[in-house]
Structure 1
Amino acid sequence: MASSSQPRPVAVVIGASRGIGRQVAIDLASEGYRVVVAAKSTSDASKVSPFPPDPNSSESTINTVQREIQEAGKESLAIEVDTRSPESIERLFQKTYDAYKRLDVLIYNSGAIWWAPVDRTPLKRFQLLQSVNMEGLYSAVQTSLPLFEKNGWNGRIIVVSPPIYSRFFKGKTAYAVGKVGMSVLTKGLAVDWKRQGKNNMAITSIWPATAIISAATPDSRLLPDLRKPTIFSDAILEILKSPAQSVSGSLVLDEDFLRERGMQDFSKYSVVPGSSPQRIMPASFPTLAVAEEDDEGLPASSVGEITQRDSRI
C-alpha cells in the first residue's frame, strides 16, 4: 500500500460482482486500494433490500459491491464489462485511467465453467469458454500494458487459473484448454518481463486448494467441505506484498501459499465452524521445467535472426 505522501494504488478486479471476486475487491479496498469493480451484472444498488445482499446470489452486482466498499468509507468505481468483447475491455481500462490516472493491480477472476467430455461439449460452448477465459484474459492483459507502462512498469497481475497437471484435464477438456492456457500465459509473460528487465512487474496464477463457497456450490450438504472466500483474498493480498520476482510466473494454491508464509491455523476459513474441509487439489505438482530450459528449441542461427528482427521492430 502507498504511503500518505503517495497516490493510493488502483486495482481493477474483473469478475467482482459476487463470490470470490467480491471478497477480493472488498479486502483490497480495506487495504487502501482504490478498487474498480468490473463485471457484467449491474443493478440499482440503492433499491436492494436487505443490504448487503447474499454475496453468492444474483442480487450481488458490481453496484452493490461498490456500495459496500463506499459505505465502509473506502473508494470504489463500478464499471460494466463484457470480457467476450475487446471493445468493452478497452472501455473499462480507459474509464479506469480517466478516473484515476494509474493502474497498479489487475485481477482477472472472470470465468465460464463447463465440465463435460469432449463429445458432450458443442463447438459453441467451447468457443464461449475460450472467449471468456483465455481470450478475455489475453485481451485484458494486452489492454492493461500501456497503463502499467505509464506507471513505470510497476504493477501486478493476478490470474485465477490452476497449476498445470494431468488430472485437471480429465472429464472437462474444453474447460481445461482455456484455464490451463491462462496459466501458460502467466508462465510466458513472466519470462517476457524478466528478459525485458521489467523486474517490478509480476504475474501470478492462484487456485483454491479446497472448494470455496459460491453460487457454483449451492448444495447445503457440501457446506462442511467448503471454505470462505476470505482465504483466497488473504492469499492474493500476501502475493501483492511479496517481492515481484519471488512470485512472478508462479502457479500457486491459496492454502499452500499462505502456509509457506507462516500460516498454520486455517480453521477461521471453514464455512461450518469446527469442520475440516477436504482438499480437492494434489499435494504436489510437476515443475514443468526441462534440462534444456534455456534452449529456445531452434538452431542458434535462427535464434540470432529472430533476435535481430525483433530488435528492429
Structure 2
Amino acid sequence: MKRFQLMQRVNVEGLYGAVQAALPHLKREGAGRIVVVCPPIYSRFFRGKTAYAMGKVGMSVLVKGLAMDFEREGLNGMAVVGIWPAAAIESAATERFTRKDPSHAKDLRKPTIFSDAILAMLRTPAPVINGQLELDEDFLRKQAGVTDFSKYAVVPGSSPRRIMPAELPDLTVKEQDDEGMRIDSSKL
C-alpha cells in the first residue's frame, strides 16, 4: 500500500500541486504551456500495470479537464498537453534490459525524439494542442512534418518497435458542451 500511495502522490498529487503553483503566473501572462508526461487513455495501457496506470491516467485526466477549463474561461493563449513515447526511449529504466542483453537496444529511440516533440509543442498554437494526449512520433509527423525517424534510433539502421497503438480512441461525446448547471464546488 505504501508503494501504491507513493506512486499516486508523485504522479497525481505532484502534478496537481505543480499546476496549482504555476497557474497564477500563467494566467497573469495570459499565455503558456504545461506539458505533462502522461499517456493517451486506452484499454491496453492498463494491462499488467494497473496501479501504475491509475496514477498516469489520473495525470491524463488532469490534462483533459484543465484544457476544458482553459477553453471555458477564454484562456486561449494557454494550453496543457500530454506527451508519451510511441516507441521505448533510452533511459535509466531501459538500461537494465540492455545491460543484460545488448540486442534490446535495437528497439530503443534516443531521448531527443521527446525533446524535439516538446519543442514542437511549444511552437504550436495553444488552441491546436490544448487538451491533446499526444505520442511523440505522431505529433512530430503531424505538426512538424517529420517523416524520417532514423536519426532517433539508438542502433543506427534499426527500426524501433512501436509500443503504442496506431490509432487511439476519441474521448469526446456528443453532449460535451452541455455542462448543465455550473457549480463552483470550492464555494460549497
Q: Normalised by the size of structure 2, how large is the TM-score? A: 0.92
User: Gapped runs of 5+ residues in structure 2?
Assistant: none
Look up the equivalent residue of 2:156 and give its one-letter code: P
2:175 aligned counterpart, secondary structure = coil
Q: Deviations over 1:169-202 (max 9, x none)?
A: 1111110011000010000001101111111000
- In 2, the alpha carbon distance for the partners of 1:294 and 1:258 equals 29
Give the secondary structure class of the aligned counterpart of 1:164: coil
Corresponding residue of 1:294: 177
Is the partner of 1:217 in helix, strand or coil?
helix
Distance in 2, matches of 1:283 and 1:171, equals 20
Separation in 1, partners of 2:103, 2:131: 36
Deviations, residues 125-163 of structure 1 (Å, cap 9, x unaligned):
11010011111000000011122233x221110000000
Matched, 1:176 2:53: yes
Q: Which runs of 4+ in 1 moved over 4 A?
A: none
Cα displacement (A) at 1:228: 0.2
What is the match of residue 203 of structure 1?
80
Quote the Cα distance in structure 2 between the aligned partners of 1:235 and 1:148. Answer: 21
1:162 aligns with 2:162: no
Matched residue count = 182
SS state of the match for residue 157, structure 1? strand
Q: Does 1:259 align with 2:137?
A: no
Of 220, 228, 236, 2:110 maps to 228
Q: Is 1:149 aligned with 2:149?
A: no
Amino acid across the alignment from 1:158:
V
The residue identity in structure 2 corresponding to 1:185 is L
Partners in 1 of 2:67 and 2:173 — Cα distance? 17
Taking the aligned partners of 2:84 and 2:22, their CA distance within structure 1 comes to 22
Does residue 23 of structure 2 align to residue 139 of structure 1?
A: no
In structure 2, what is the equivalent of residue 237 of structure 1? 119
Partners of 2:19 and 2:124 in 1: CA distance: 21
Corresponding letter in the other structure for 2:132: S
Q: Distance in 1 between matches of 2:27 and 2:138?
A: 32
Partners of 1:194 and 1:292 in 2: CA distance: 16
For 1:277-292, what aligned pairs fall within 5 Å after superposition?
277-292=160-175
Deviation sequence 1:31-78 (CA, Å, 0-9, x none): xxxxxxxxxxxxxxxxxxxxxxxxxxxxxxxxxxxxxxxxxxxxxxxx
Paired residue type of 1:164: I
Q: Distance in 1 between matches of 2:176 and 2:31?
A: 27
Q: Between the two structures, name the one with larger relative contact order (CA 8 Å, sep ≥ 6).
A: 2
Larger Rg: 1
Of the three residues 109, 126, 130, the one matched with 2:4 is 126
Counterpart residue number, 1:22: none
Asked if residue 192 in structure 1 is aligned to residue 93 in structure 2, the reply is no
Match of 2:91 among 206, 211, 214: 214
- The runs of 5 or more residues in structure 1 that have no matched partner are 1-122
- Look up the equivalent residue of 1:124 and give its one-letter code: K
Deviation at 1:295, TM superposition (A): 2.6
Distance in 2 between the 1:259 and 1:145 partners?
Answer: 30
TM-score (normalizing by structure 1): 0.56
1:165: how far off? Answer: 0.2
